[in-house]
Chain A
Amino acid sequence: MPNMELQLGLALPTPNMIKGFDLNNHRLDHLKQRGCFSNKSKRSFEQAFGNFKQDGKTKTLLLWSGQPNEEEDHKDQKKTTFSTIDDSNDDEEVEQVVGWPPIKTWRKKIFNQPNGVGGIENNRVADKENGRSIYVKVKMEGVAITRKVDIRLYLSYQTLSNSLITMFSKDKKCGDDDSTRYILTYQDKEGDWLIAGDIPWQSFMRCVQRLKIIRNRD
């Protein structure tokens, strides 16, 4: 196992919030109508649906696309292109097709607290002011399994990143070289993805919904 050093780059203090990925509420409307995706092991849309397929042979999940801004990548909107689901390494939770998977509506709500605080599926267990655990999902780009950490166990960004490094070092793909840099990003209550480190730790603990470790695309 190569000796890999992961360094989680924390944000440079800037006056503007740095927006990473805005992945919420993408509605794949055109897919909803026909509801099929492309996959290397699946049939193409023509085969599946004969004469009423929509234009184009391949479906993209793309709703918008853009290029990362090379000059000021830490300030401007970072955008990413998606092709099909299997090419994407992101685990964003998108409701892709109406009524699929076939789960009753109220079951989907199970993970949401009635008073609005997210459950595990929104990646936090309800937190009361009494020191109980707050589990947050952590996803690392390129790693299949998502992990969970109890944010309350950490005192600072540093201790958190140290722990994440340990946790994920065994998951790292061998292909990356030793000096691959990673950025720790998090999703806040509004659903925005931000780079971790901007706000005081206490505030961060209160608003973090999810964590994601992404490769620093310098």
Chain B
Amino acid sequence: MHKKMAFSFPDEVLEHVFSFIQSDKDRNSVSMVCKSWYEIERYCRRKVFVGNCYAVSPRMVIRRFPEFRSIELKGKPHFADFNLVPDGWGGYVFPWIAEMAGALPWLEEIKLKRMVVTDESLELIAKSFKNFKVLVLSSCEGFSTDGLAAIAATCKNLKELDLRDCEGDDLGWHWLSYFPDTYTSLVSLNISCLGSDEVSFSALERLVGRCTNLRTLRLNRAVPLDKIANILRHAPQLVEFGTGSYTADLRPDIYSDLAGAFSSCKELKSLSGFWDVVPAYLPAIYPVCSKLTSLNLSYATLQSSDLIKLVSHCPNLQRLLVLDYIEDSGLEALASICNDLQELRVFPSDPFGVEPNVSLTEQGLVAVSSGCPKLQSVLYFCRQMSNEALVTIAKNRPNFTRFRLCIIEPTTADYLTLEPLDVGFGAIVQYCKDLQRLSLSGLLTDRVFEYIGTYAKKLEMLSIAFAGDGDLGLHHVLSGCESLRKLEIRDCPFGDKALLANAEKLETMRSLWMSSCAVSFGACKLLGQKMPRLNVEVIDERGPPDSRPESCPVDKLYIYRTLVGPRFDMPPFVWTMEDDPSLQQLSRANLM
């Protein structure tokens, strides 16, 4: 006979209760309540999130959660997006697929970010998971149309195929015709990254026509404007749509066809695409604009006046991505029209130009922060900033959760006072108490890091470039930011002291990236020796770090916590700082 606590529920009841708890964080909390909850929870966890694929092994994940249906994995560090991580660094998904293939035949969803996905991996997915439904490859690489063809041909229950931001060697289209004629379950398709080879409109139209549950369709640039109307007529139920190249000769028949097709889409909430846009064709989308909540115009080379006209038709916009052609005047218009705006991203149209090509300054951001009470997420590229503006922005919008400002020229000072922008960013962290993500730019001293360490208690991700005076800056951040998970730093004079003094902090974070800083090889070795639960990886394309003096700074450093020790798939230009040098020889030997 076994005792049960008076207030305990049968497992099935607890499982049922837990099934309402979806968020990863909450699930983790639930599992820590007591041993029996841990056990129950692990069997009924259906979604697993692994923020760093090298922090844990697939076998460990499967052992703990034997019944999951969905996995999300992230590979390379964020700065890989900007070419700071050399090719071949790692992030291979194949070992994960291989382990899951045998153990989890009912796996339904795989979501990957910044990973290397080979055709072999895709073929294995297609072969192994009979009920496979969702494949999201975000900023991934390594696959070709062959792998996609395997997925298309085999995954009868596929609902979602999303290839956002992937790069392939000009991925073609022919794999689309591998979806069998009997296949109708597609709900979401994002092929915006495909190239222009082997474009097959008829295959696409037939696919769209027979998949009556299609809600999301993001086309690529190769799809011309005169094909859009036909596609939309096959799928008037679309909720999210990305056009292709939005340009054509000015012909009334094309226009009316297009306008008619858009009018028939009563559910459209999100639009994107608009490559090569011709303003004359924009009014064709006006019928749907009033319902739009998300608009991605970040490929649209429209001038400010056209952008203002368009935006004035979209009062319910919650999310806007746009180029800096919108200018301050356009942002002022946006501020007055779109009161529900929550997220704004303004990208530079001429990022490498030395002189400004548009009239977009800090004023645009001030206007939006003032006029949009729900604005919480901003990514803004501009060429000038002032502390005054930042303080105003911070006071206007204390509800920011993500604030990423990129002043294009590194170490640009406050253009009014020529001072560093410490006070301005200090105001941001002081007023925006729920700030989770922050990217800094401009001229910054250690003082800004003191503010950040003091106030940014909820900050989870911080990006720093060309800032600070010395180790004290880094020390403020590592010692003060209690919620910090990801820290990425480039070209800052941070050295050994702060890192070594805060070594334990690093175990509470997912990862730390430092490139072109002043951390010595000796310090890396020390850190690697003292902290067995961290992988301290030195990336240096100049050659082995021990061929230079120990005091020499390393080129790039990536430190992450892990349960499984050093990885075995490192390329020749990555070295793990090990406790025992002979262990490192061993790891390398495994690669041969």
Q: Using CB atoms and an 8 Å cutoff, list the residues of chain A in contact with chain B.
A: 33-37, 39, 41-43, 47-52, 85, 88, 90-108, 110-111, 113-115, 119-121, 125-126, 130, 132, 137, 144-146
Contacts and interface: CB of A to CB of B under 8 A. Distances in A.
Nearest to A139: B355
A132 B249 contact: yes
Given A104-B82, A105-B83, 11 more contacts: A36-B411, A47-B469, A52-B518, A97-B410, A100-B82, A101-B351, A114-B170, A114-B221, A119-B276, A120-B349, A145-B359
B298 interface: yes
A94 B165 contact: no
A111 B348 CA distance: 12
A95 B196 contact: no
Contacts of B448: none
A100 B409 CA distance: 9
The 8 closest A-B pairs by CB, nearest first: A99-B82, A41-B413, A93-B352, A42-B411, A35-B491, A114-B196, A41-B418, A99-B84
B201 interface: no
Nearest to A94: B352
Given A91-B354, A99-B82, A101-B406, A50 B465 contact: no
A43 B493 CA distance: 13
B412 interface: yes
Interface residues of B, number: 56
A76 B444 CA distance: 45
Contacts of A107: 298, 347
B28 interface: no
Interface in B165-222: 165, 167, 170, 193, 195-196, 221-222
Given A36-B491, A49-B493, A90 B354 contact: yes
30 contacts: A34-B491, A36-B410, A39-B412, A41-B418, A42-B411, A42-B412, A49-B493, A49-B518, A50-B470, A50-B493, A85-B409, A97-B410, A97-B491, A98-B82, A98-B83, A98-B84, A99-B79, A99-B82, A100-B82, A101-B348, A101-B381, A101-B406, A102-B439, A102-B463, A103-B348, A106-B193, A107-B347, A114-B221, A130-B249, A132-B249
A145 B357 contact: yes
Contacts of B356: 144-145
B351 A103 contact: yes
* Residue with the highest number of chain B CB atoms closer than 10 Å, among A37, A102, A146: A102
Contact of A110 (B196, B299, B353, B439): B299
B443 interface: yes
Given A100-B465, A107-B298, A119-B276, A146 B82 contact: no
Contacts of A39: 409, 411-412
Contact of A114 (B84, B195, B350, B553): B195
B275 interface: yes
Contacts of B247: 126
B466 interface: yes
A125 B276 contact: yes
B221 A35 contact: no
B313 to A, nearest CB: 24
Contacts of A137: 357
Contacts of A119: 276, 301
A169 to B, nearest CB: 20
Given A47-B469, A114-B221, A35 B516 contact: yes
A106 to B, nearest CB: 6
A104 B518 CA distance: 26
A121 B276 CA distance: 11
Contacts of A146: 353, 355, 357
Nearest to B170: A114
A144 B358 CA distance: 10
Contacts of B495: 50
Nearest to A49: B493
Contacts of A92: 354
A130 B249 CA distance: 8
A41 B495 CA distance: 25
Contacts of B82: 98-100, 102-105
B443 A42 contact: yes
